[in-house]
Each structure stands twice: as structure tokens, then as C-alpha cells.
A and B are shown apart, each in its own frame.
Chain A
């Protein structure tokens, strides 16, 4: 009964929002007139209603298809993960379709030329259509997100009311330039022959690696002290989240780990690669700094030898503080999805000014595939910066190749911003999506990237001939 009710509610919301948006477009100036045309196009050519029905009905029946219930923690996480993934998949594809189909059709039918005869149209084409696509995406996004939220909160009211957690990474995981400087100073005094003969860049790179390794591992019987800067909080406890890696040991192997925070101490069992959380009471000390002492006591089974445990990713050791509501995080995460759709639309519109529909779609899909790997971009960044250049090899060809590589590196690091704006996993894990992250996404992806794509597309339109008849 609930899925049926949710489907009706979602579709009703979709139609109401569309009517409201359409009405708003009808009262505006020339820019909104173009926006209204795009809305009419995607609605009357059935792209928006069909996609909307697929999106909402798919969303409603997702728990049935996945065989999960949001009443239990694992089911809730799975539903949130797949639910947001489903919404993102449909919306990103529909965005590309709407943007590419609309402008390619205008170009190929000669309508682009004909409509360009109205004053100021060259400047309004892309922004008008872009606003239309964003509006259409918003019209679909709001009901789909509402349905997802209702699915979670109707089945499990406490899940809907739960608080999101803000993960905080250990200060030691961020190796700063100052850390490297003081480490090198110490090492140059301690063993000048080992550290003094290397080039400064090589020494710094080595020092950074060493410090990172030191912060991110505990050898058997050893201790590690990790400091965390907590934001001001009224909560009486924080959650310590751990996911250790134990080298090539089998996933089922278990180790003992001592946790000590102030007066509180506990020994816990941790499994290779598996996340474990511990609630730690907070004492009112007036300080926002918390130090966690971790002691690795070795494997549980005597015959197993685990020499050390490692914290490979930044989220391997985190303190989580309650911060904001689950709904707020979900809403910000979906706003970031809207921003990504806005960029995909701007990019698709830009390439559609000179490419036909199928090629433009292919281009957009290539971007999405490349961007989904953007999270790995960090691996290249530091390496690229410290490569020594032999002055004797500074030929023109080498210079050009270096510049190309630098440009490529910029693009890859730019795509990392795209990966950072994908926060669906964070929401699924019950974590907090910050306003800062939303703001950064809005500025970089929604403003900078989309703006560049729209300007480039507008320049192409202004520079291209757009005849309306056989001369095309």
C-alpha cells in the first residue's frame, strides 16, 4: 500500500511542480521565454513525463527490487545508497538527453538561424536552455528525493529523525610543510650522510612519505597517538570509527586493539578491512582537542602473525560528531547532484553547438566515465610537482610536452572536484554533508565550469553561420 501511495504522491508532485515552473516561465522576459520553450519541448515530446515516471516508480519499488527494508541499519544504508544512485543515474542521463537533443535539433532544422534573427538571441540561447534543463531536473529531483525521504522515515521513523555525523580526520594524516621542515631538520642532525646528500626535493618527498607512514601504521605491541580537532559540540559522546588494513592477511583475521581517550579505555576486536565503531564519552574539559591512543596488541589467534595495522584511507580512523539532521545532509547532497546536472547540461549544450546529437551524447558519456575515475587523481598530484628537470633537456619539444602534461594534470585535478561533489555515500553512511562542500561545488562546478562551458558555446554560436534553408 505504501509504495502505491508514494508513487501517486511523487507523480502528483512532479506534475504540480512542472505546472508551477511552466507558469513562471510564461510571465518572464525573453530569457525565460526560451526557458519556457525548453520546458514545453521536454514535456510535450514526452521526455520529461516518461523519465519522471521511470524515476519515481523505480524509486518506489527499489526496496522490493533490492529486497531490503529501511527498518534495519544495513537495509537503510543500502536503500539510501542505491536510491541516490538511481536518482543520479536517471537525472544525469536525462540532463544529457534534454540538452543535446534540444540544441542539435534546433541546429539541424535551421531553427537556430531563424530564431537568432530576434535581437540578443545569440547571448540568450544557451543560458535560456540551460535554465530550462535545470528547472526540468529540479522538477524531477524534488519528488524523487521526497519519495526517498518518505521511504526511509515512514518505514523507520527514528531513521528519518536521526542526526548526521560529521567525520573528523586525525591531524597527523595531513602532513604539512611545517611538519616536513621540522622532520628534515631533525634528520639532518641525526644522520647527515643519509639525508644531506639527496636533492632537497627528494628529501622532502621521502620525509613526507615517512611521516605519512608513521601516522598511518602501528606495529605489533606499539602505540599510536592521533589528535583530532573537534568543532564546538553539546554532545556527551563521540563515535570512533576504525577500518584497519592488515597487509595481505586474510579478511577474516581478527586483531586486538586498545583504545584510550582520557580516562576512558577499552580493548576492542578489529577485523581486516571491516569498519568498527566505538562510542566514547566526552568529558567537559573546555578544550576542543581530543587525543586518541591506539595500542595494537597483535592477532587474536596465536598462530597468526600480523606485524602491523595500517590506516590506508583518510576515513580509516575518524571521530564522528553529531552535526545537523539527516534530512539536511540529504538535501545538500541532492543540491550537489543538481549542480552536477547543471554542469553536464552546460557541457552538453556547448558541444551540441558544433556536434550532432549522437556524438554530443557520446562526448558527455566519456566525460562521466572520466570523471568517475577523478577520485584517483590525487595519486598524480604530488608526483608531478616534484619532478626534477634537467636544464640540458629543456628543448622546445620537452617544454611543450611538459606544458601538455601540466594541463592534463589540471584537468585531472579538476575532475577530482567532481568526485568530491558526489556525496551519496556520505549520506548513506549517516554522515554530515557540510555547507562548505555545497558552496565549493556551487562555485567550482556550478559557477566556474558551467560558466566556461556556456561562454564557449555562446562564442561558437556567435561565430558560426546559421542559415535556415538549403544553404545550411
Chain B
């Protein structure tokens, strides 16, 4: 049995007004268990309690009722803070600091050893494709660039648990692709990742397990494969058959008692076309003021070459 990184039982969070009268019941009895090395998705529409749950796990909000254990300790304890990386939903970085200064600040506040600090900052800037824009003030960054710097700051102290609140929000398709690759890469290096999102396709691709919230309660929870399994339906991908072959195939299926529900011609996705176009523009040497092509995860992030 693997070790639990997050354990939540019977969590309630009620927001009160100035006179301490209950205003909103944001979370109503959530139970959650996330294992080490897992990528866990917290899904739900706006106002379903995803962000509130995360803020409670981080110790930023105090639970009204229930028990919360993060990395074996209380949320918000100094020990757990050292081991958690967090990407907030909104950009809350200092707009007057440059990207490099912001990362350096986060490294210093997280007590990253001085001899490792500079190399980590540079590696992460390279990873998120912001080396060229590192000396520009964050206030001048686009939303996507701010998300990228957010991802970098969440990883600067090599945390065990990474909490990403809407990580792909505001990113271009290249950024979305990279974030998904990084998440998978981080999981391979033994990190536990908790993601909230309402972009279901992104979650589906990277998460092992998901929990669907609505009205402050867990409505469904389980392995992604199990949850998404379409009962009594399957999808086959073949080469495109000719007109006369289609009718033969249908006949064949009918003889076997299998009903063909839909038959569509396959085409490239817009994402694939987009990625290909940008890749070509980059290979032609086009200059951009925004983020450049990002790189691989730095070696200091719990990989085999662990060190600075």
C-alpha cells in the first residue's frame, strides 16, 4: 500500500460575513485521499469548491470542520510548506520584479542553498522558455508568460507535492502541450501532483485519478480509465475504406449482431496543425517577444541526477 500524501475527511468550509453569520457553504463534507506519485485531478464547474479545497490544503483557509493531513502534517505548517509547490489560479506575482528576480526571490524565501540558486533559476527559465524575457518586468508579460513563470516558481525548491490550480489557463496550445509533458515528466520523477481544471481534455490526458465536485461535494471519483469507459461501446481506428467496402463492413457487423453507431472520416486536429505551423516558423528563425520554445525538466527536480 503506497503512502498517502493528502488525506481529507469530512471537510467543511463555510464562509462567514462580518457578523459571523454563514454566507456560503463552499465545501460540504469532502473526503479525499491522494497517494504518493499520483497525478490527481480535481474537476468541477466554477464555484464547485475546487480552489477552496486547494486553499485549505495549503493552509491559507482554515477548515470549518473535518480533518486535513498534508504530507503527514498539518496544512500550513513550516515543514509542509517546504515540500509543496503551488501555482495559483491568478497571477499574483510582483509586477515590478523581472522574471529572473521573481524566481530568485522565491528561491531565497524557500531557502534554496545559495550555490544552487542561480543554476536552478537559469534552468527553470530555460525550461519555461523565458530566458530571453527574463529581465523584463512581470507586469509586461502576457498572461501565458505569467503562467510559465508561475510554473517555474512552483518548482524552484524541488517540492514533493505540486499543486497546480488551472495550470493550462491562458496558455497557448504549445504551452498546454508542454505543461502536460512536464506533468508526466514530474510524475516519473516521483512527484505527486494535484491539478484543478475545468478543461477536461487536459485532465483526461495527464491524470491517473480524478474527483468530480459539484456544490461542494464529491459527486464521482475514480481512475480516469474507469470513469470514462463507455458502457457497451467501442471505437476502432482503421485506414479509410472505399465506398463499396463500407457497405460490406456494415453488413458484416450486422450479421454478427453488432450495431454501427457512427462512421466518420478521420482528420487532423487543429492542435496538430497549430503545433506544426509554429514549429515551421521557429525553424525559419522568426523572432518573438513572447515565450520561446521551452525545454525539458531540469535535472535538479528529483531525477537521477539529483543535486543543484
Contact = CB atoms under 8 A, between A and B. Distances in A.
Interface string A431-471: 00000000000000000000000000000000001111111
A471 B96 contact: no
14 contacts: A30-B111, A40-B94, A113-B60, A114-B86, A117-B59, A117-B86, A118-B81, A118-B110, A120-B78, A121-B109, A466-B60, A467-B60, A471-B15, A471-B55
A274 B271 CA distance: 89
B92 A467 contact: no
Contacts of B108: 29-30, 33
Nearest to B110: A118
A45 interface: yes
Contacts of A116: 60
A468 B96 contact: no
Contact of B88 (A33, A44, A465, A469): A469
B105 A467 contact: no
Interface of B: 15, 26, 51-52, 55, 58-62, 78-79, 81-82, 84, 86, 88-90, 92-94, 96-97, 101, 105-106, 108-111, 137, 165
A37 interface: yes
Nearest to A28: B108
Nearest to B102: A37
B97 A37 contact: yes
A468 B88 contact: yes
A111 interface: yes
Across the A-B interface, give the 4 residue pairs with the lowest CB-CB distance, nearest first: A118-B109, A44-B96, A33-B108, A119-B81
A471 B111 contact: no
A348 to B, nearest CB: 20
A21 to B, nearest CB: 16
B26 A119 contact: no
Given A33-B108, A113-B60, A467-B61, A119 B78 contact: yes
Nearest to A466: B60
A115 interface: yes
A33 B110 CA distance: 11
A110 interface: yes
Nearest to A121: B109
Contact of B92 (A34, A37, A45, A111): A111
Interface residues of A, number: 29
Contact of B106 (A45, A111, A118): A118
Interface string A380-411: 00000000000000000000000000000000
Contact of A117 (B52, B61, B81, B90): B81
Interface of A: 29-30, 33-34, 36-37, 40-41, 44-45, 109-111, 113-121, 465-471
B92 A468 contact: yes
For the complex, would chain B's binding face be called helix, strand, loop or mixed by DSSP majority? mixed
A37 B93 CA distance: 12
Given A37-B97, A40-B97, A119 B110 contact: yes
A272 B78 CA distance: 68
A118 B104 CA distance: 13
Nearest to A34: B109
Contacts of A109: 92
A7 to B, nearest CB: 27
B91 to A, nearest CB: 9
Contact of B165 (A34, A115, A117, A469): A469
B97 A469 contact: no
B96 A469 contact: no
Contacts of A118: 81, 106, 109-110
Nearest to B88: A468
Nearest to A120: B78
A468 B81 contact: no
A468 to B, nearest CB: 4
B90 A110 contact: yes
A469 B92 CA distance: 9
A114 B90 CA distance: 10
A37 B60 CA distance: 22
A468 B90 CA distance: 8
B90 A37 contact: no
B156 to A, nearest CB: 10
Given A118-B106, A120-B78, A465 B61 contact: yes
A466 B62 CA distance: 10
A114 B102 CA distance: 13
Nearest to A110: B92
Given A29-B108, A114-B86, A118-B81, A469 B94 contact: no
Nearest to A128: B109
B120 to A, nearest CB: 15
Contacts of A121: 109
A29 B60 CA distance: 24
B90 A40 contact: no
A469 B89 contact: yes
B153 to A, nearest CB: 9
A310 B86 CA distance: 72
A128 to B, nearest CB: 10
Nearest to B139: A44
B111 A469 contact: no
Contacts of A467: 51-52, 55, 60-61
A468 B109 contact: no
A44 B97 CA distance: 9
